[in-house]
Amino acid sequence: MRLTTKGRFAVTAMIDVAMHNGDGPVTLAGVSDRQKISLSYLEQLFGKLRRAGLVDSVRGPGGGYNLARAPHGVSVADIITAVDEPIDATQCGGKENCLDDKRCMTHELWASLNAHIFSFLSSVSLEQLVRRQDKSDVSVLQDQRTGKKPEAAAVA
């Protein structure tokens, strides 16, 4: 199984939206700038994420995207499947026609791997991914991109 750029970018963008969601709607231009993902690619991904009910769009000035559900209620598997990213290690796409229209000898192995991968990705929430981010590193990186001077760290 190989996770493509589509799935990786969708997860990255959703982490970004979750991290900035408290400041009002998050613009795709902001996500694009912070994460270095093409704006047109993000527009495609967020259309799919919106149709899957993972984000809501806000139109007009000050518009952008908000999470449609709480971060603890969104799994990585939700995000990946929303952007039509198959989680499949089988050669046949699960159709059991791997070898001359018959099931190959390793079909169960790969199908079992699919189940484990999906289970793992379902167990990881967007909230967990946001918590894992080093806020100070993210803040410094964003300040560098916007030209702001980083605030002095408090001495303990």
Mean confidence (pLDDT) of the chain: 84
Residue 48 belongs to domain with CATH number: 1.10.10.10
Question: Within this chain, do residues 80 and 144 fall inside the same structural domain, yes or no?
Answer: yes
The size of the chain, in residues, is 156
Q: Are residues 67 and 139 in the same domain?
A: yes
pLDDT at 14 (0 to 100): 97
Question: What does the pLDDT look like over 41-54, one tens digit per residue?
Answer: 999 999 999 999 99
* Residues 95, 101, 107: CA angle, nearest 5 degrees: 50
Residues 3 and 75 in one domain: yes
| Residue 28 shares a structural domain with residue 101 | no
Q: Are residues 29 and 58 in the same domain?
A: yes
* Separation between Cα atoms, residue 155 and residue 100, nearest integer Å: 68
Confidence of residue 156 (pLDDT cuts 50, 70, 90): very low
Kindly tell me if the per-residue pLDDT of 140 is higher than 60. Answer: no
Same-domain check for residues 32 and 94: no
Query: pLDDT, tens digit, for every residue of 70-129?
Result: 999 999 999 999 997 777 777 777 777 777 777 788 888 888 888 899 899 999 999 999
The answer to whether residues 97 and 139 belong to one domain is no
Residue ranges making up the domain that contains 53: 1-86+125-156
Pair 132, 58 in one domain: yes
Task: Check whether residue 81 and residue 93 sit in a common domain.
Answer: no
| Structural domains of the chain, count | 2
User: Do 71 and 117 lie in a common domain?
Assistant: no
Cβ contact 43:83 at 8 Å = no
Q: Are 6 and 39 in the same domain? A: yes
User: 153: pLDDT confidence band, cut at 50, 70 and 90?
Assistant: very low
